[in-house]
């Protein structure tokens, strides 16, 4: 048994090289794990890529420990560490995957406890402006960032909300190191019902806007005219958040990922 990783909400342990067990670090993480467990029990048969299937789940009790859960480790390594990524294949796979995910019955997601987040643009704008005031030493001019966040806010999403992963950074997309294709999508604790653009925004942080357009070419769902501008804006916001969390938790990889994402946005 070994500690595989630790994020804001969970510690993840690998057991016998073939199982992953997730332990919430706080009460909010426990609520996320309960939701994730219920959601993934039905989602796995709906989407086109493998997702965790929890075979072990320990419910919490008032006098005992918090909930924890385990699933068979999916093959592959995180996309941000894989030396081989077949960009065209991955774009096609993720485009098809997100088209399926975003048509998952919302009522089923609600029944699993997935929360709703109607206006993600407004939420992330306010959060990012506050976080930016506390950041220095960025690789993008802070004044430029402030002006973009304040003056270029896109129109909020007006369509029907969808189930979204909401944290689809490259580290949560598993890649087969031999083929370079996607082998699974993990970490569903931040899933919400809201604007599909948040998933495209996270993919924007991987290889930029032209690659995102390749993903969208394989997406069969309905897209509104502002999806690219919202994705770019939200990519900026989640990049600032990633840097903020990275500095708070001492995670150099998150800081580097956030700075790289900002460069992609402002080099477009």
C-alpha dist (Å) from residue 105 to 15, 45, 102, 113, 267:
34, 13, 9, 13, 37
Does the pLDDT at position 151 exceed 60? yes
Query: Which pTM does this prediction carry?
Result: 0.93
Using pLDDT thresholds of 50, 70 and 90, give the confidence band for residue 65. confident
Q: Which residues contact 108 (CB under 8 A, 6 or more apart)?
A: 42
Using pLDDT thresholds of 50, 70 and 90, give the confidence band for residue 268. low
- pLDDT for 26 equals 87
Pairing of strands 162-164, 192-194: antiparallel
Q: How many CA atoms lie within 13 A of 184 on its CB side?
A: 19
The torsion angles phi and psi of 200, rounded to 5 degrees, stand at -65, -35
Q: How confident is the model over 85-118, as pLDDT tens digits?
A: 999 999 999 999 999 999 999 999 999 999 999 8
Both structure tokens of 35: 């939701």
Residue 135 CB burial class (10 angstroms; 0-12, 13-18, ≥19): middle
Using pLDDT thresholds of 50, 70 and 90, give the confidence band for residue 62. low
Q: Share the mean pLDDT of the chain.
A: 94
SS3 68: strand
Identify whether the C-beta of residue 230 lies closer than 8 Å to the C-beta of residue 195: yes
Q: Which residues contact 179 (CB under 8 A, 6 or more apart)?
A: 84, 86, 89
Tell whether domain 76-267 is in CATH 3.90.1200.10. yes
Q: How confident is the model over 201-233, as pLDDT tens digits?
A: 999 999 999 999 999 999 999 999 999 999 999
Using pLDDT thresholds of 50, 70 and 90, give the confidence band for residue 138. confident
């Amino acid at each position: 048994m070994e500690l595989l990783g630790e994020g804001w909400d969970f510690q993840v342990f690998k057991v016998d090289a073939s199982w992953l067990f997730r332990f919430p670090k706080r009460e909010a993480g426990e609520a996320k794990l309960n939701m994730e467990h219920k959601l993934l029990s039905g989602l796995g048969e709906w989407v086109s890529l493998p997702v965790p299937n929890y075979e072990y789940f320990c419910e919490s009790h008032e006098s005992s420990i918090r909930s924890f859960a385990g699933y068979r480790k999916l093959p592959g390594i995180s996309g941000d560490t894989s030396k081989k990524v077949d960009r065209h294949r991955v774009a096609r796979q993720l485009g098809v995957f997100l088209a399926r995910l975003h048509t998952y019955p919302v009522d089923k997601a609600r029944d699993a406890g997935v929360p709703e987040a109607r206006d993600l643009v407004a939420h992330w704008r306010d959060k990012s402006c506050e976080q930016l005031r506390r950041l220095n030493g960025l690789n993008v001019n802070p004044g430029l960032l402030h002006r973009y966040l304040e003056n270029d806010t896109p129109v909020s999403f007006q369509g029907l909300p969808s189930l979204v992963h909401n944290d689809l950074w490259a580290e949560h997309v598993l890649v087969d190191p031999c083929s370079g294709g996607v082998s699974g999508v993990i970490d569903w604790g931040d899933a919400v019902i809201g604007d599909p653009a948040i998933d495209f925004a996270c993919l924007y942080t991987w290889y930029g806007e032209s690659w995102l357009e390749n993903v969208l070419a394989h997406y069969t769902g309905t897209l509104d005219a502002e999806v690219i501008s919202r994705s770019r804006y939200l990519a900026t916001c989640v990049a600032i958040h990633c840097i903020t969390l990275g500095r708070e938790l001492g995670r150099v990889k998150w800081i580097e990922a956030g700075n790289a994402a900002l460069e992609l946005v402002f080099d477009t």
